[in-house]
Amino acid sequence: MTWTFDPLVARNAHFNLTKLGAEAAEYLVNFYGHAPRRSQREDATDRLLAVWSLASHGSARALSGRTPAPPVEFLLREAPPWS
């Protein structure tokens, strides 16, 4: 299963990657084009492509509640090349 989400919304990223066990497969720059804002400026619509292998060991472990969130130091060290 795949979907996209806004990487700047931490609760979505936490839910998708930690709670569900999905993986961030690709960073998609300006995926939906520019979104107009009320303040007359435009926001980019960057997204992460989430890939969720429903039958994977990682998904089963995440859904069982046994997957702790990784420490920030790990995330910084293991950042993908597009970060």
pLDDT digits over 40-68, tens only?
455 678 999 999 988 888 777 877 877 66
Nearest to 82 by CA among 58, 53, 52, 47: 47
In the three-class reduction of DSSP (H, G, I as helix; E, B as strand; rest coil), residue 47 is classed as strand
In the chain, which ranges are continuous DSSP H helix?
A: 10-13, 57-63, 72-77
Query: Which residue, chain included where needed, has tokens 């994977």?
Result: 56
- Percent pLDDT > 90 in the chain is 23
pLDDT, position 68: 65
pLDDT, position 4: 96
pLDDT, position 40: 47
pLDDT, position 62: 77
Q: Is the pLDDT of residue 31 over 80?
A: yes
